[in-house]
């Protein structure tokens, strides 16, 4: 339960900090933080949780990360479902808190930082572009995670590498999909938006899982080599 509670809190912070910055601060009059600020916010949530709760649960904060670590032989299969449930609950609770805050001045929630493709992509990118983006970005995210947490890697820097990787991923892919690479983050926002966000949610569950599985397989091949 300590590990699951840590995953709940960590994923709560990821969604509240990342999606909260997008909903509340990205385009705030005169001092909006923009794409760069939102990208940094997502990276900072992972960075701060990695160093504060990583020693308890591993700070996965993402069903795709848990799946990728399992495929890479770093995570027990028996813990996979409980972790994913805790992550989705943490993300959804954060989205609920964000909804209360965002509507506190009488405003509508708009797209609520939900992920989308086609007409719901920030840049109007197609389903294929969104699919490729989410698979590749999640693949690279898991490669960084698996590599940075490898026993052969320099100690104490994993959280920094992972947080910066997530920042970079957002810098690349916010214009395409609003950046998911995390099914829990996508589910939580889609619940409150409904309609099109629920209809397109399948891609932001499927693509990150596929990318994570591929990364787990790939790192088994490259990571077992002798240095």
The first and second tokens of residue 40, run together, are 């940094």
The first and second tokens of residue 186, run together, are 């996508």
* pLDDT for 29: 67
pTM above 0.85, yes or no: yes
- Compute mean pLDDT per 10 residues along the chain, 227 residues long, and list them: 95 95 82 88 94 92 96 92 97 96 88 95 96 97 94 88 96 96 97 96 97 95 65
Cα–Cα distance measured from residue 224 to residue 227, given in angstroms and rounded to the nearest whole number? 9
- pLDDT tens string 66-123: 999 999 999 999 999 999 999 999 999 999 999 999 999 888 888 999 999 999 999 9
Domains and their CATH numbers in the chain = 2-223 (1.20.1080.10)
Q: Give the other-Cβ count within 10 Å of 40's Cβ.
A: 20
């Amino acid at each position: 339960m300590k590990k699951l509670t840590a995953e709940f809190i960590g994923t709560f912070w990821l969604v509240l900090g990342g999606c909260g910055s997008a909903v509340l601060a990205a385009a705030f009059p005169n001092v909006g933080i923009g794409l760069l600020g939102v990208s940094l916010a997502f990276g900072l949530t992972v960075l701060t949780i990695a160093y504060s709760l990583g020693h308890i649960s591993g700070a996965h904060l993402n069903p795709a990360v848990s799946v990728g670590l399992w495929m890479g032989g770093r995570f027990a299969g028996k813990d996979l479902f409980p972790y994913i449930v805790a992550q989705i609950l943490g993300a959804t609770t954060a989205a609920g808190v964000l909804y209360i805050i965002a509507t506190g001045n009488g405003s509508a929630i708009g797209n609520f930082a939900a992920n989308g493709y086609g007409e719901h992509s920030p840049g109007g990118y197609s389903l294929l572009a969104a699919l490729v983006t989410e698979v590749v970005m999640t693949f690279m995210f898991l490669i960084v995670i698996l590599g940075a947490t490898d026993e052969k890697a320099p100690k104490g820097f994993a959280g920094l590498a992972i947080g910066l990787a997530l920042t970079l991923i957002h810098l690349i892919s916010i214009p395409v999909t609003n950046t998911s690479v995390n099914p829990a983050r996508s589910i939580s926002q889609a619940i409150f938006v409904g309609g099109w966000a629920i209809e397109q949610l399948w891609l932001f569950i499927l693509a990150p899982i596929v990318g994570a599985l591929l990364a787990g397989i790939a790192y088994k091949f490259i990571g077992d080599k002798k240095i």
